[in-house]
Amino acid sequence: MFDKFNDECGVFGIFGHPEAANLTYLGLYALQHRGQESCGIVASDGTRLRGHRSYGLVADVFKKDEIFAGLPGRSAIGHVRYSTAGGSDVRNCQPISVEYHRGGIAVAHNGNLVNASELRNALEQSGSIFSTTADTEVIVHLLARAQCDSLGDRVVEALRQVRGAYSLVFLTETRLVAVRDPNGFRPLCLGKLDGAYVVASETCAFDLIEAEFIREIEPGEMVVIDKNGLKSFLPFDKTTPSPCIFEFIYFARPDSTIFGREVYNVRKEFGRQLAREHAVDADVVMAVPDSGMPAAIGYAEESGIPFQLGLIRNHYIGRTFIEPSQSIRHFGVKIKLNPVREVIEGKRVVVVDDSIVRGTTSRKIIKMIRAAGAAEVHMRVSSPPTAFPCYYGIDTPSRKELIASSHSVEEINRYITSDTVGYLTPEGLRAATGCMAGESYSFCDACFTGQYPVRFPRLKADSQLGLF
């Protein structure tokens, strides 16, 4: 039912607001799409850090008033998580919070460190004892060992040793630090609310709490916030930024602004470009909801073929949904989607989805659309074929499970049983972002091209990084 790449995490932080924990709860609620497995909040009252973390959705984990009563203070950070690095283990729920010789520190991480395994081995050899299996804990150990005086310098000393993707928010009793890796793989935004600074993975978190979006934290930038205000640093060696283009395709919410563009408009432009690259005679354009919606609207606008809601999604299916019993038949994708026969019957249909990962869901959806009476089904995909796994904070299946790694477009067309299939080209994808500000700025598109912008240790060719 969920044949998609999965974003692993979302982060939020606020400094200097009397409702810090409550606002963090709301911020995480808005970022729930970035991780549904576990969540947590750590708050500071200026003298001590207190936290609450658990498995479950934000609204379920933080539903009791006494939890908020246990999170007093004017600053807080929060995290939503969908695990890969470190696996599913309650100890890996974030924010990670520890006491060390300089006091308390908590950290929330969106991304994935490609050299975490090497660093962890070295730390363990020299006596470190780890309490989680998450790559993020490596940063905490490096920071605790750093020989500098200021928190900012310790964070920089730690992060100079790691490679990969990180949008991080740290909280101590008196400071909040937010950092984005030099490649800027994951988004991280800065806002303000009633004089308090707010940071979040996406601007949709600011919209909910009515915070003002100031700007994005730049690739390689660190901001340190304390009672004296905000200071910005660029402490890392400069490199060409390579933000994740898949944030535009699927991960980010369409009502967010990231990497300098409104996600909704970029997604619609993907659809327009797709219509230019793969035109077809058809009667109706429809989306695989919800993520295919903006691109389908763009496709319809560009092609002049009317857009209709041909598939309706049940929004009340949780990740933990289990079919009631093997004694009744397997319902598969019908649990999640239902076709609108009046829209489809006798029509030549264009179906727009944002990506095809294994192809299994597309095949079921097309079968469902044909059963509803479609005369023809033309699949259009608003991204190129996904043929390579991600090592920068996205949960992807192993390479051999990615249908495009071993099948041509024509073979995929046969497998999913469409009349035709058309993918957006990598060039069309890049052009449609409209963000090409010259040679100093490009996007990571490694899951389409295999061109990885940050090197990683030798891996089994068909697997994601196996951490710990």
> Could you give the residue numbers annotated as active site?
9
Pairwise CA distance, residues 262 & 218, whole Å = 17
Q: Which is nearer to ligand SF4, 93 or 447 (CB)?
A: 447
Q: Does 285 bind ligand SF4 (CB under 6 A)?
A: no
Q: Does 444 bind ligand SF4 (CB under 6 A)?
A: yes
Q: Which is nearer to ligand SF4, 353 or 445 (CB)?
A: 445
Sequence-separated (6 or more) residues with CB below 8 Å from residue 208: 26, 27, 29, 30
Contact 93, 81 (CB under 8 A): yes
Q: Which is nearer to ligand SF4, 368 or 447 (CB)?
A: 447
Closest CA to 357 of 447, 273, 431, 294: 447
Select the residue interacting with ligand SF4 from 139, 142, 196, 245 (CB under 6 A): 245
Minimal distance in Å, beta carbon 467 to ligand SF4? 16
Q: Which is nearer to ligand SF4, 75 or 136 (CB)?
A: 136
Minimal distance in Å, beta carbon 181 to ligand SF4? 11
Sequence-separated (6 or more) residues with CB below 8 Å from residue 91: 131, 132, 133
Strand partners, 40: 53, 79
Q: Which stretch binds ligand SF4 (CB under 6 A): 44-52, 305-313, 420-428, 445-453?
A: 445-453
Q: Does 390 bind ligand SF4 (CB under 6 A)?
A: yes
Q: Which is nearer to ligand SF4, 62 or 392 (CB)?
A: 392
Q: Does 7 bind ligand SF4 (CB under 6 A)?
A: no
Minimal distance in Å, beta carbon 239 to ligand SF4? 15
Q: Does 445 bind ligand SF4 (CB under 6 A)?
A: yes
Select the residue interacting with ligand SF4 from 20, 61, 108, 244 (CB under 6 A): 244
* Virtual torsion, Cα 140, 142, 148, 154, nearest 10 deg: -50
SS3 355: coil
| DSSP strand pairing (284-287 vs 261-262) | unpaired
Minimal distance in Å, beta carbon 444 to ligand SF4? 3
DSSP string over 363-375: HHHHHHHHHTT-S
Q: Between 392 and 431, how does the x/- string for binding to ligand SF4 read (CB under 6 A)?
A: x-x-------------------------------------
Closest CA to 247 of 239, 231, 259: 259
Binding-site size, ligand SF4 (CB under 6 A): 11
26's tokens: 């709301």
Contact 412, 403 (CB under 8 A): yes
Q: Which stretch binds ligand SF4 (CB under 6 A): 197-205, 282-290, 306-314, 440-448?
A: 440-448
Select the residue interacting with ligand SF4 from 446, 454, 465, 467 (CB under 6 A): 446
* Virtual torsion, Cα 235, 467, 391, 123, nearest 10 deg: 20
Strand partners, 376: 348
Instruction: Find the length of the chain.
Output: 468
Q: Between 175 and 204, how does the x/- string for binding to ligand SF4 read (CB under 6 A)?
A: ----------x-------------------
Q: Does 270 bind ligand SF4 (CB under 6 A)?
A: no
DSSP string over 69-109: HTS-SSEEEEEEE---TT-S-GGG-SSEEEEETTEEEEEEE
Strand partners, 257: 262
Q: Does 447 bind ligand SF4 (CB under 6 A)?
A: yes
Q: Does 113 bind ligand SF4 (CB under 6 A)?
A: no
Sequence-separated (6 or more) residues with CB below 8 Å from residue 99: none
Q: Does 166 bind ligand SF4 (CB under 6 A)?
A: no
The angle, 0 to 180 degrees and rounded to 10, between the axes of the packed helices 151-159 and 136-145 is 120
Q: Which is nearer to ligand SF4, 211 or 402 (CB)?
A: 402
| Site residues for ligand SF4 per CB under 6 A | 185, 244-246, 390, 392, 394, 444-447
